[in-house]
Structure 1
Amino acid sequence: MKFLFLFAFYTIVYFGFVSGVDSGYRTYENYKYIKVQGDRTGIEILKLALQDKDDSLVYSDTRDGAEIVVAPDSEILFNKIIATENLNATVLYNDISEIILMEKSMRRRNRKFSWTAYFDIDDIYGFLRNMSETYSEWSELIVGGQSYQGRSILGLRINTPGSKDSPKPVVFIESGIHAREWIAPATTTYFINELLTSNDPNITALRDQFDWRIFPSVNPDGYHYSYTVDRFWRKTVSGFGSSCFGADPNRNWNYNWGQFSSSNNPCDYQIYAGSQPFSEIETRTLSSYIENISNLLAYISFHSKAAMLLVPYSDSTKRIDNYDDLIQVGKTSLDYGYEVNKKERYGGPGTAAEILYKASGGSMDWVRYTLATPLVYTYELRGNSFHWPPSRIYEQGDEVTQMMLGLATEAQKLGYY
């Protein structure tokens, strides 16, 4: 009886939430999330076959294979190719609608902004406004660009009083460029809260050393769409209303655009790179904002879900001039983070081409190439199937806070500021 009561309760909560937002919310009922390992050619054959059957195929490549969302009507084809190509398949979730239900029910029960639930873009922006008002002497709202649907790309500048004669080095944090990676904006807002409220002298010193420009969601339209319509939406929503819309904003920057891990097919659900570099207003306006920052020391991007640290360039194994320094600083950052939970160590640091897969047209590479920014990193946070339990957001928040402290500590030792 208890089980039936709980099931009924969560069902009511879930569908009540959906009907209050968008009755067309995609539930992914009976969709499986499966990890596939084996020969890379066989994995690509599997992905292409599934894409032919379902052009909204959800997948992510990993170091040793891929993770794929398999629709109920694609299971027979999936199993046939797994056997033919001699691949190994491990089911991570039998029904991912249960994960979506849980995420939504947690939001329903947490009306006040917190780090025990995931919140929509208006709530995130409300948090930024509240912090800018509460800590008005230290922080201010900033606009890094615009979205296709007319939203501002809203961020927070944290810059405590310092010497007027020597401006502080700027640390820029970009988060949530991929809509479905919810843990990234959540962790970023947690870090903002730590900078502004912590009494730990190490954290207050970290806050005071830099001019912080922090953007929890640089793809606000896409994030809102993933929150209200399709949990696994990754792209922007440019051209919304047409049969195929949106582009991958982390394949749309003007550095080696369209070369690796990108598609020229507008209907590609995941990695369509756009019609040209900076075709997306989000990347175009954000890049303009970044170009006009003086004294930019570090550019940090938060993604999920590979648990690794990446350095430029993502589509090459050729090492940039301060590669060794980036690795040393990155290792210290990961060491600091590991001390928080002492569980799984992050992979890397290294280039995506070395430890993950080649990808072109990303923000990190453009910043490094165009602006020669000294310290440039992409942190792939933890999780499975782009999910991290909302009740445990604080774990990654504390870990990232320490990672930022480790990064700053080692960069100072090497004379970067």
Structure 2
Amino acid sequence: MGFYPTCSSHFKRVKIKLILILIMAAYIFARNEHYIGWKSYFVRPISKDHVRALVILGEKLDLDFLSPPHPEREALVLVPPKHQLEFITRLKYFTIKYWTHAENVKAALDHDDELLRNWTNVILRGGGTVMPYNSYLNLDAIYAYMHDVSMRHQKTVTMVTAGHSFEGRPLRYLKISTTNFQRRLKKIIFIDSGIHAREWIAPPVVTWIIHKLTDDVTEPKILDDFDWILMPIVNPDGYEFSFSKKRLWRKTRSTDTNPKSYRCPGVDGNRNFDFAWGATGTSSNPCSEIYRGNKAFSEVEIRAVRDIFQTYFNRMSMYISMHSFGSMILYPWGHNSSVSKYSFNLHLASSAMIKAIKNASLPNFPAYVNGNSVQTIFYTAGGAADDYAHNLGIPYSYTFELPGLSGGMEGFELDPMYIEQVCTETWLGIVAGITKTIKLAEKDRS
């Protein structure tokens, strides 16, 4: 079974090691016992008032929204046993439509595990290779892939270790450049994912982008004209925890931000940036899924992302943070209802992305929507990465909510058979968006 076309003994050893890691990773599944008794529901708000009611209810009842509530589509929410009766009662009071997604969340997660097991077997039986962009793999597998790419493409790829996580795991990203980042006039595109641990579809998209800039270059001009920074896993501790302990874990794993942190570890990394930190859409309660931390940049993982911004912000033209799910492309501002002065171009570029994605998408995938974060999803989020980047002057700053399940699908994660589809269409969207920004810049200069 082939992995990479290499010939040296070193790369053959890497090849064997990677295959072993990847196969083992396919059989490492989350422990789902925590979710015994939990239920999940689809909710369908039809107004801004409905969305606001759901956000307030979520904080009050410790609800966990796996997709943001939006008037044009259903959202998925996890409800712990002790709050299920009150949750239903309040939905009826607000006349918010709902229906059950999973009567037994643990069983639905077990179903996802079985899908992933079967998918791995399908790949291997077909003579293929399990890769970080065609399956859901653990941290070691993703890092091994990044290392191998950096060794095989030493003229264009550098792997950077930007420090270590709270639990001591390396924080790694790739710099990809045909000019070794030495041409100061070249713009930089920075894309990350995995800031929320459980959003497993996001890292494959970023590793696919790595693949398209190294092993399968079909857009050489974009590689020549831009330098790239790709960070597939911002939150390695949380990501590994979602594999080994608690599948739907979202936050980091720090225990030093609050006296209650040992009971409720972690911080929402996408509420921890030092712009509008502590604004609405965050929580001071360490047990909340949107806990902002005790101060901005309390998390070492988020400080690593900050340092990338601080080093290169004056050259960055685009930043994208990959999340799931919801089929949305959101742009600043997200901390309040104000509109960025770049909103017109932000909208034009994201519309180009959506058009390209639509042309390549599947009919059973929800259509993307784009817009200002608050005006699109009708609630705010202080301390978010895209706002922070945009405030530094990065003109095109986006949060992608990748496609996820819809009412007819089982489980919680996107069926692994669709991973490559999401990777492919998202890359085409990004290429279209970059192409649009180039045209807009030419128009501004003329």
TM-score (norm 2): 0.80
- Contact 1:310–1:378 (CA<8 Å) still a contact in 2? yes
Question: Greater CA deviation, 74-83 or 119-128?
Answer: 74-83
What is the rounded CA distance, in whole Å, between the counterparts of 1:352 and 1:90 in structure 2? 26
Residues 285 and 183 of structure 1: CA distance in aligned 2, closer, same or farther (over 3 Å) = same
Which position in structure 1 is the counterpart of 2:428? Answer: 402
Q: Deviations over 1:183-220 (max 9, x none)?
A: 111111122112222253xx232222211100001111
Q: Deviations over 1:352-404 (max 9, x none)?
A: 111112111001111111x2112211111111375211111011101111011
Q: CA deviation at 1:148?
A: 0.6
What is the rounded CA distance, in whole Å, between the counterparts of 1:44 and 1:199 in structure 2? 43
Which position in structure 1 is the counterpart of 2:113? Answer: 104
> Letter of the aligned partner of 2:87 in structure 1?
F
Which position in structure 2 is the counterpart of 1:156? Answer: 174
Residues 26 and 155 of structure 1: CA distance in aligned 2, closer, same or farther (over 3 Å) = farther
Q: Deviations over 1:46-96 (max 9, x none)?
A: 435533xxxx75554311375321345644443333334433112233433
Which position in structure 2 is the counterpart of 1:280? Answer: 299
Which position in structure 2 is the counterpart of 1:118? Answer: 136
Query: Aligned to 1:218, which of 219, 234, 237?
Result: 234
Residues 413 and 238 of structure 1: CA distance in aligned 2, closer, same or farther (over 3 Å) = same
Which position in structure 2 is the counterpart of 1:232? Answer: 248
Question: Greater CA deviation, 134-143 or 351-360?
Answer: 134-143
Q: CA deviation at 1:44?
A: 4.9
What is the rounded CA distance, in whole Å, between the counterparts of 1:383 and 1:115 in structure 2? 16
Q: CA deviation at 1:23?
A: 9.1
Query: Aligned to 1:361, which of 368, 374, 383?
Result: 383
What is the rounded CA distance, in whole Å, between the counterparts of 1:315 and 1:388 in structure 2? 29
What is the rounded CA distance, in whole Å, between the counterparts of 2:181 and 2:304 in structure 1? 30
What is the rounded CA distance, in whole Å, between the counterparts of 1:195 and 1:287 in structure 2? 24
2:104 corresponds to 1:95: yes
Question: Greater CA deviation, 407-416 or 300-309?
Answer: 407-416
Name the Cα RMSD after superposition: 2.8
2:58 corresponds to 1:36: no
What is the rounded CA distance, in whole Å, between the counterparts of 1:394 and 1:59 in structure 2? 22
What is the rounded CA distance, in whole Å, between the counterparts of 1:295 and 1:231 in structure 2? 37
Matching of residues 31-180 of structure 1 within 5 Å: 31-38=38-45, 39-40=50-51, 42-44=53-55, 46-48=57-59, 50-51=61-62, 57=64, 60-64=67-71, 66-72=75-81, 74-105=83-114, 106-107=116-117, 109=121, 112-161=130-179, 167-180=185-198
When the two structures are aligned, how many residues end up with a matched partner?
A: 391
What is the rounded CA distance, in whole Å, between the counterparts of 1:291 and 1:389 in structure 2? 37
Q: CA deviation at 1:175?
A: 0.9
What is the rounded CA distance, in whole Å, between the counterparts of 2:333 and 2:281 in structure 1? 14
Residues 298 and 415 of structure 1: CA distance in aligned 2, closer, same or farther (over 3 Å) = same
> Letter of the aligned partner of 2:354 in structure 1?
L
Q: CA deviation at 1:160?
A: 1.9
Q: CA deviation at 1:254?
A: 0.6
Question: Greater CA deviation, 29-38 or 254-263?
Answer: 29-38
Q: Percent identity?
A: 28
Matching of residues 220-369 of structure 1 within 5 Å: 220-239=236-255, 242-268=262-288, 270-293=289-312, 295-341=315-361, 343=363, 344-348=366-370, 350-356=371-377, 357-369=379-391
What is the rounded CA distance, in whole Å, between the counterparts of 1:231 and 1:132 in structure 2? 30
What is the rounded CA distance, in whole Å, between the counterparts of 1:253 and 1:334 in structure 2? 27
Q: CA deviation at 1:321?
A: 2.1
> Letter of the aligned partner of 1:37 in structure 2?
R
- Contact 2:181–2:227 (CA<8 Å) still a contact in 1? no
> Letter of the aligned partner of 2:294 in structure 1?
S
> Letter of the aligned partner of 2:110 in structure 1?
L
Question: Greater CA deviation, 284-293 or 175-184?
Answer: 284-293
Q: Residue 378 of structure 1 aligns to a residue in which SS?
A: strand
Residues 114 and 176 of structure 1: CA distance in aligned 2, closer, same or farther (over 3 Å) = closer
What is the rounded CA distance, in whole Å, between the counterparts of 1:181 and 1:274 in structure 2? 20
Q: Residue 68 of structure 2 aligns to a residue in which SS?
A: strand
Q: CA deviation at 1:221?
A: 0.7
2:210 corresponds to 1:184: no
> Letter of the aligned partner of 2:296 in structure 1?
P
Residues 205 and 386 of structure 1: CA distance in aligned 2, closer, same or farther (over 3 Å) = farther
- Contact 2:31–2:247 (CA<8 Å) still a contact in 1? no
What is the rounded CA distance, in whole Å, between the counterparts of 2:389 and 2:181 in structure 1? 27
Which position in structure 1 is the counterpart of 2:3? Answer: none
Residues 274 and 162 of structure 1: CA distance in aligned 2, closer, same or farther (over 3 Å) = closer
What is the rounded CA distance, in whole Å, between the counterparts of 1:164 and 1:288 in structure 2? 18
Which ranges in structure 2 are unaligned for 5 or more consecutive residues?
A: 1-23, 406-410
What is the rounded CA distance, in whole Å, between the counterparts of 2:106 and 2:226 in structure 1? 42
Residues 146 and 305 of structure 1: CA distance in aligned 2, closer, same or farther (over 3 Å) = same
What is the rounded CA distance, in whole Å, between the counterparts of 2:138 and 2:279 in structure 1? 33
Q: CA deviation at 1:223?
A: 0.8
